[in-house]
Amino acid sequence: MNASSQPNSVAAASSDEARLVLEYRAILENASVAILFTRQSRVLHCNARFAEMFGWSSPEELQGQPGSVFWLSLEDYAEVGRNAGPVLAAGQSFEVERPMRRKDGSTFLCHIVAKAVNPAATTEGTIWIGEDVTDRRRAEETTRQLMLQQQAILENASVGILFTQEGSIRHCNARMEQMFGWGPGELIGQSARVFFASDEDYGLFGQEAGPVLLSGNQLDVEWANVRKDGSRLWCRILARAVVPGDATQGTIWTTEDVSARREAQLALMQAHEELENRVAERTAELAETNLRLQEEVAERQQAEERVMHLANHDALTGLPNRRLLIDRLGQALALAHRENHQVAVLFMDLDRFKTINDSLGHMTGDALLQNVARRLSETLREGDTVSRLGGDEFVVVLPSLDQPKAAEKVALKLVDALAPPIDLGGQELRVSASIGISLFPEDGCDTETLLRNADSAMYHAKDMGRNNYQFFMEQMNVAAAERLRLENDLHRALERQEFELHFQPRVSVANGLACGIEALIRWRHPERGLVLPGHFIPVAEDTGLIVPIGEWVINEACRQGTAWCAAGLPQIPVAVNLSPRQFRQSNLVDTVARAIERHGWPCNLLELEITEGVLMQQTSDTLKTLEALNRLGVGLAIDDFGTGYSSLSYLKRFPVDFLKIDQSFVRDIAVDPDDATIVTAIIGLAHSLGLTVVAEGVENASQLDFIRDAGCDEAQGYHIGRPMPAGQMAEWLLANRPSGPLRNA
Ligand code: C2E
Ligand code: MG
Ligand code: MG
């Protein structure tokens, strides 16, 4: 192949040929491909590139080398020769790619193209063009491997991967097919519309995805897609244009089935919502329960307060009761003790309340007490306590006094407060009170002593004529103790037969002759001597002893009357006083009937004196009892008329025979024109009702004259005769015996 190696041919060629040869040689020498020319299995020449490729120092070194030197083995060489022979002979190019050997024994992959110089005579030589393809093949293999790996990744990916171009599916992996329920290859060529429920939905998706992809950004959405069978699935879709900004170049989509997560999320949301609802419900329930509880607590508190109030207050007047009074007084004393001041206890009892209660009934009595309570409360200051102990007893505590005078002022204020008449349903009532005052510390240091001493002082005030106040004095306790002793003694007086009857005559005003006798009880006390009824009848009434005592009086009166008759004295009516308490006894009529029968005393000679109060207890029982007594034949008299609250017209209803005008009217009859008018009026009205009128307490002739002028029928009083023992009465009767029978039997 070297030009200098063939000087003969160069010399022989024409100058054109010689130039052509030179040109070919230049091409051969400078070609970048390896070129070899062989003849009869030996290297004729080759170019520099060939020598270099096979590791030989120069083309010259290769000249004459056998063709087998480039092959791995002789068998290899023979095989190639066998395969190439017919091809070359046919004038075609023989092409082969084989591992070949360099001079140093190393191998490389070589691509060979061979062509016979003259196919008709292949012995003239062959041209081999070689190319080292080791690197190219290796690169190709790497690429193939890479492709395979990528394919494997694609096929085994757990997300669906899709490649689309202009809306049409070009490629997708198995996961994508499975996820959407398509068979292998079914998706290819389809429109991406198949993943959507409707054209509208597909359009919506396009509106959302298009701008993102166009801008070259990644799309990341969750969408409700559909499978081949139309069932729904939630997908998370990531997408990016292959060439940013150019959607026509295709888009890669990665799709993940997030239905389970969505469902879980939904379930979680629902659970959360349900939980919140439950919490809200429970909260509401709790709030309601709480409200109910609060209401219950409030109710209970109110109930407790009511109970507390009831326990500590008087039901009728609402004033503190004894319990609360003692509590407050105790506190006041403790404070007074510490701060060194005085405390006053005012014990207050209404005067003649019993009469009002008996006369006008308990309803009126209660209304009156309420009225009094209000007046007392209004009179006192805030820190003071007024309480009702029961009945008509009130106690006032003045907790901090600087001097006793202050207590006196309050007592006066209380008396004044009660002075104006009280209007009860059109009826005007007047009440007054007697007040006893005890002071801490001089009259006592404890609640009990102070209350007891104020009570004693109150009794003293009553004795002093009522409607006044009295400070406690030590001797008052003596009086109170005496009253207690009296009560004890009274219990034994009946069995010890300490009672006796005195008698007071009643005369006809017209002729001055006896027309009746009133039996008045006396108690011959072993130590006190003769005790008058005013001292023990109230006690007997309070204790209920009046019932057996009264029964004794009726019997004794009948017995005495019979005894006088037996002694030859004229038969004269005997009057007996009945207390309201006796009248309420259901067996009163029996008691009277038995006494009469027992002593054989004529019924019409027994008279019973009752007070207005008895009549005013407007019960049907009252009327029944009076009618029964009337049927029995006994006379009935209204005693002390004018002190109660009855009216004359009221008397019409009752079978009453006598009316005894109270001595308080008779006393001043001659000097007090009011009393004179009252007495005259009573007499006139009583007569119009057919009643016999008796004036009580006639102490002098002028009184007698007055009542005579006023037309009064009978008179009783010291002027006629004082109450006297039975013996004296007999003598008086003998002296003043009436001429004829006093009353028709
Ligand atoms: P009475 O029924 O109105 O009796 C009349 C009272 O007036 C008697 O008082 C009598 O002594 C007194 N008296 C009579 N004439 C005069 C007078 O001219 N001037 C004055 N100042 N007084 C006169 P006595 O005996 O003290 O009785 C008082 C009251 O005790 C009686 O008032 C009567 O309500 C009651 N009483 C007396 N005996 C009994 C009885 O056996 N049972 C009941 N339940 N009460 C009785
Ligand atoms: Mg009487
Ligand atoms: Mg009387």
Q: Which domain holds residue 610?
A: 486-736
* Tokens 């009253």, located at residue: 483
- Do 597 and 724 lie in one domain? The reply is yes
Using a 6 Å cutoff on CB, does residue 639 contact ligand 1?
Answer: yes
Average pLDDT over residues 164-193: 93
Of all protein residues, the one whose alpha carbon is nearest to atom 11 of ligand 1 is 723
pLDDT digits 0-9 by tens, 23-37: 888 888 888 889 999
pLDDT digits 0-9 by tens, 328-377: 999 999 999 999 899 999 999 998 888 888 778 888 899 999 999 999 99
Residue 392: its pLDDT value, please? 93
Residue 740: its pLDDT value, please? 47
Name the residue of 531, 551, 558, 577 whose CB sits within 8 Å of the most ligand 1 atoms, as the mutation to test its pocket. Answer: 577
- Do 192 and 328 lie in one domain? The reply is no
Rounded Cα distance between 104 and 95, Å, is 25
Asked whether residue 151 is assigned to any structural domain, the reply reads no
pTM beyond 0.95: the answer is no
- Do 683 and 711 lie in one domain? The reply is yes
- Do 461 and 493 lie in one domain? The reply is no
Using a 6 Å cutoff on CB, does residue 538 contact ligand 1?
Answer: no
Residue 198 has pLDDT above 60, yes or no: yes
Q: Which two tokens stand for residue 75?
A: 């068998």
Asked whether residue 176 is assigned to any structural domain, the reply reads yes
- Do 462 and 501 lie in one domain? The reply is no
* Percent share of the chain, pLDDT over 90: 63
Using a 6 Å cutoff on CB, does residue 724 contact ligand 1?
Answer: no
Question: Which among 438, 472, 506 is the end of a domain?
Answer: 472
Question: Which among 133, 149, 173 is the end of a domain?
Answer: 133
Using a 6 Å cutoff on CB, does residue 530 contact ligand 1?
Answer: no
- Do 468 and 522 lie in one domain? The reply is no
- Do 599 and 682 lie in one domain? The reply is yes
DSSP 229: T
Asked whether residue 363 is assigned to any structural domain, the reply reads yes
Using a 6 Å cutoff on CB, does residue 613 contact ligand 1?
Answer: no
Residue 194: its pLDDT value, please? 95
Q: Which two tokens stand for residue 416?
A: 């004044």
Using a 6 Å cutoff on CB, does residue 611 contact ligand 1?
Answer: no
Of all protein residues, the one whose alpha carbon is nearest to atom 10 of ligand 1 is 723
Q: Which two tokens stand for residue 168?
A: 């049409």
The amino acid that residue 71 corresponds to is W
- Do 67 and 92 lie in one domain? The reply is yes
Asked whether residue 26 is assigned to any structural domain, the reply reads yes
pLDDT digits 0-9 by tens, 397-407: 999 888 888 89
Q: Is 95 in a helix, a strand, or coil?
A: strand
| pLDDT-derived band at 13, boundaries 50, 70, 90 | low
Question: Which among 210, 239, 257 is the end of a domain?
Answer: 257
Of 317-326, 476-485, 697-706, 707-716, the least confident: 476-485
Residue 744: its pLDDT value, please? 34
Ligand in nearest proximity to the CA of 520 = 1
Using a 6 Å cutoff on CB, does residue 336 contact ligand 1?
Answer: no
CB burial of residue 572 (10 Å; 0-12, 13-18, 19+): buried
What's the chain's Rg over C-alpha atoms?
A: 74
- Do 506 and 463 lie in one domain? The reply is no
- Do 711 and 629 lie in one domain? The reply is yes
Residue 619: its pLDDT value, please? 65
Of all protein residues, the one whose alpha carbon is nearest to atom 24 of ligand 1 is 533
Rounded Cα distance between 138 and 151, Å, is 20
* Percent share of the chain, pLDDT over 70: 96
| pLDDT-derived band at 649, boundaries 50, 70, 90 | low
Q: What is the CATH number of the domain that holds 21?
A: 3.30.450.20
> Among the atoms of ligand 1, which is closest to the Cα of residue 553?
41
Residue 743 has pLDDT above 60, yes or no: no
Q: Which two tokens stand for residue 579?
A: 């207390």
Q: How many domains does the chain have?
A: 4
> Among the atoms of ligand 1, which is closest to the Cα of residue 698?
18
Q: What is the CATH number of the domain that holds 557?
A: 3.20.20.450
Residue 3: its pLDDT value, please? 41
Residue 390: its pLDDT value, please? 86
**Packed helices 546-566 and 588-599: angle between N→C axes, nearest 10 degrees:** 20
Please name which of 473, 421, 502 lies closest in space to residue 729, comparing C-alpha atoms.
Answer: 502
| Residue 469, strand partner residues | 435
Ligand in nearest proximity to the CA of 533 = 1
Residue 658 has pLDDT above 90, yes or no: yes
Name the residue of 494, 501, 517, 520 whose CB sits within 8 Å of the most ligand 1 atoms, as the mutation to test its pocket. Answer: 520
pLDDT digits 0-9 by tens, 440-489: 999 999 999 999 999 999 988 887 877 889 999 887 777 777 878 888 89
Q: How far is the CA of 742 from the centre of ligand 3 (A)?
A: 21
Average pLDDT over residues 379-392: 92
Asked whether residue 507 is assigned to any structural domain, the reply reads yes
Of all protein residues, the one whose alpha carbon is nearest to atom 14 of ligand 1 is 717
Q: What is the DSSP string of 725-736?
A: EHHHHHHHHHHT
Using a 6 Å cutoff on CB, does residue 659 contact ligand 1?
Answer: no
Q: What is the CATH number of the domain that holds 460?
A: 3.30.70.270
- Do 655 and 602 lie in one domain? The reply is yes
Asked whether residue 542 is assigned to any structural domain, the reply reads yes
Asked whether residue 421 is assigned to any structural domain, the reply reads yes
Using a 6 Å cutoff on CB, does residue 703 contact ligand 1?
Answer: no
Residue 2 has pLDDT above 50, yes or no: no
| Residue 715, strand partner residues | 507, 695
Residue 739 has pLDDT above 60, yes or no: no
- Do 684 and 537 lie in one domain? The reply is yes
Of 9-13, 381-385, 724-728, the least confident: 9-13
- Supply the mean pLDDT for the chain: 90
Residue 655 has pLDDT above 70, yes or no: yes
> Among the atoms of ligand 1, which is closest to the Cα of residue 582?
44
Asked whether residue 292 is assigned to any structural domain, the reply reads no
| Residue 346, strand partner residues | 396, 437
